[in-house]
Structure 1
Amino acid sequence: MFNLSPLYFPITANPAQTSEFLPSQALQPYIRCFWGSAARGLHSEALVAVEDTTTYYEPRMETIIPDTCMDIIWNLNESTGLTTTVFSGINDAPFEVPSDRGGMISTFGIRFHFWAVHYFADDHLRDVLNAFVDVDQYFGTFKRELGLLLEQANSMKERIAAAEAYLFQRLERGGRTNDRMMNAVYTIIKQKGVVTAEDLEASSTLSRRQLERLFQEYIGLSPKKNADLVRFQNVWREMYHLPAQTKNMQDLIFTYRFSHQPHFINSFKKYAGRTPLEALVYAGR
């Protein structure tokens, strides 16, 4: 398969606050990162006092923006021994989650590049847009082949090693793919999401209708929405990494073919939940 990872590196809404670990080189074409947190034994939520002098925990909220990736998220409640594992599909809208759900929760995540999930999943991905479902729906052997090993692991390093072994086993079984569709994906990535339907038809030698069907089956969304999300991520990454004194929105508007500044701001806010300047403030930039 194409190794697209050197061309495209999506980031979160607040990259400085994430705990991400790159996979081994052999898995980098497929896996964006591993991530997670260990149980700490104490809640870190803010205590809030109310008028009757009782107190309650109000968790801080974290914004999740569309990063074009899909995740397997494994949680262990170390006080009860109970585990939950979910598959989070590709998202096309921002949402908020508690940044800390309790000190006894240990979390481990496998974040897939959007173009690679179909190499590992059991079935088509037509229903993954904004999905948050039990992992069995797409990875039927996960709990049996990896879940117990994650529980027994004593460190993030051990969990990553177990996850990589599981992923290599899945790859060896042979996944489903379509080379001509992947040519279209390559065009989207190489052109940073600034593509036309005609560009994709030419690079894949597939009709628009065929591409729509294949993208829905192997990625879970249309080629146009896929390109729009890739464009958003490239815009956001450029904004985040530019020095403050050189951040020029007009350059981004021109480079990424927005018709005017309101179009740029509205498009960005649709995916980030904030204006460009508000997003930079949230990320501490």
Structure 2
Amino acid sequence: MEYETYQPDLELSDFVKCFWTLRVPAGPDPQKQRIVPDGCVEMIFTLGDDVRRYINETDHIIQPRGMILGQLTEPLCIEPTGAVDTFAVRFFPGGFIPFTTLSMPDLENTETDMSAVFGEEDAANLKKLVVNAANTEERIQIVQAFLAQKLRDAKHIDRILRSTVDLILASKGRVPVGGILQENILKRRQLERRFSKLVGLSPKQLARIVRLQSTLQMLLNNDDSSLTSLAIENEYYDQAHFIKDFREFTGTNPNKFLKDNALVLSTAFYQKE
């Protein structure tokens, strides 16, 4: 498996977290993978064989070959049908707002064909250019030019939204939401509704997911850490609360995470963060 990340140009650096590629040769026994929520919207181009996404244990759909993957609040189960060759854009939380008029909650936990986001003609032209590009560097240039052209007034992302996202990311999700939105209860609820509409997650949901990211990175980089120390360092209320969050977002418990073959892909993503 080859997973690589690339940084965007300065013009898009407030919106795009990274570009990434994934290549996995076809194997005799394709294996399901669970993708863990990370608080980001993804723009994904399938260059290799099709990918299945499981709706339940047995039923699946074929993912669009050019799609926007919305915010995840639960693990997403996918399975390649052959060789994997993927090129994608990962947006910061809230970073996809200037590029669409669609509501972020409408994209939650699902893949949306790019034609529904950018229009039939623009989406078709973009997919054609990306597929026919000679290499990753050329694909990055193509998509950066496309996004720069689509970029609406950056003021569309208001000051409160940007500062709230930045604080959640900087604190690794450990700052209580009440401490972030220090407003009267009515105004706080208004801000939370606006945040959810623009980001696709509530401030509390994003904070939980970002805190889990920090926990996963610690677990991957130091597997000698006890569950108690992981819970304490990431400021969970107690170990039971930590395990509950962990299971909700990964589909397994911390002791089994490193040995779960269905999480190999998610592990690779987090090791590159």
Q: Which residue of structure 2 lines up, in the alignment, with residue 269 of structure 1? A: 247
133-142 or 226-235, which deviates more? 133-142
Q: Which residue of structure 2 lines up, in the alignment, with residue 55 of structure 1? A: none
Residue 89 of structure 1, aligned match among 70, 84, 87: 70
Residue 90 of structure 2, aligned match among 111, 119, 133: 111
Q: 1:263 to 1:108 in 2, by over 3 A?
A: same
Q: Which residue of structure 2 lines up, in the alignment, with residue 251 of structure 1? A: 229
Percent pairwise identity: 27
Structure 1 alignment gaps of length 5 or more: 1-15, 47-57
Alignment of 1:176-195 (within 5 A): 176-195=156-175
Deviation per CA, 1:82-107: give whole Å up to 9, x if none: x8311110101112211x3224x743
Residues of 2 paired with 1:123 and 1:260: CA distance?
Answer: 38
Post-superposition offset of 1:200: 2.1
Residue 71 in structure 1 maps to residue 42 in structure 2: yes
Larger Rg: 1
Q: Which residue of structure 2 lines up, in the alignment, with residue 30 of structure 1? A: 15
Asked whether the 8 Å contact 2:45–2:67 carries over to 1, the reply is yes
Which residue type is aligned with residue 91 of structure 1?
A: L
Deviation per CA, 1:5-30: give whole Å up to 9, x if none: xxxxxxxxxxx863333333443332
Residues of 2 paired with 1:163 and 1:205: CA distance?
Answer: 42
Q: Which residue of structure 1 lines up, in the alignment, with residue 197 of structure 2? A: 217
Residue 19 in structure 1 maps to residue 1 in structure 2: no
Residue 229 in structure 1 maps to residue 209 in structure 2: yes
Residues of 1 paired with 2:164 and 2:88: CA distance?
Answer: 28
Alignment of 1:161-200 (within 5 A): 161-171=141-151, 173-175=152-154, 176-200=156-180
1:207 counterpart SS class = helix
2:65 counterpart SS class = strand
- How many equivalent residue pairs? 248
Residue 157 in structure 1 maps to residue 128 in structure 2: no
Residue 201 of structure 1, aligned match among 156, 165, 181: 181
85-94 or 255-264, which deviates more? 255-264
Q: 1:204 to 1:61 in 2, by over 3 A?
A: farther
Which residue type is aligned with residue 236 of structure 2?
A: F
Q: 1:249 to 1:21 in 2, by over 3 A?
A: same
Q: Say what the alpha-carbon RMSD is for the aligned residues.
A: 3.0
Asked whether the 8 Å contact 1:180–1:206 carries over to 2, the reply is no
Select the structure that is richer in helix: 2
Asked whether the 8 Å contact 2:35–2:77 carries over to 1, the reply is yes
2:73 counterpart SS class = coil
For normalisation by structure 2, the TM-score amounts to 0.78
Q: Which residue of structure 2 lines up, in the alignment, with residue 60 of structure 1? A: 31
Q: 1:138 to 1:199 in 2, by over 3 A?
A: farther
Residues of 2 paired with 1:164 and 1:144: CA distance?
Answer: 16
Which residue type is aligned with residue 26 of structure 2?
A: S
Asked whether the 8 Å contact 2:214–2:234 carries over to 1, the reply is no
Q: Which residue of structure 2 lines up, in the alignment, with residue 129 of structure 1? A: 108
Asked whether the 8 Å contact 1:86–1:133 carries over to 2, the reply is yes
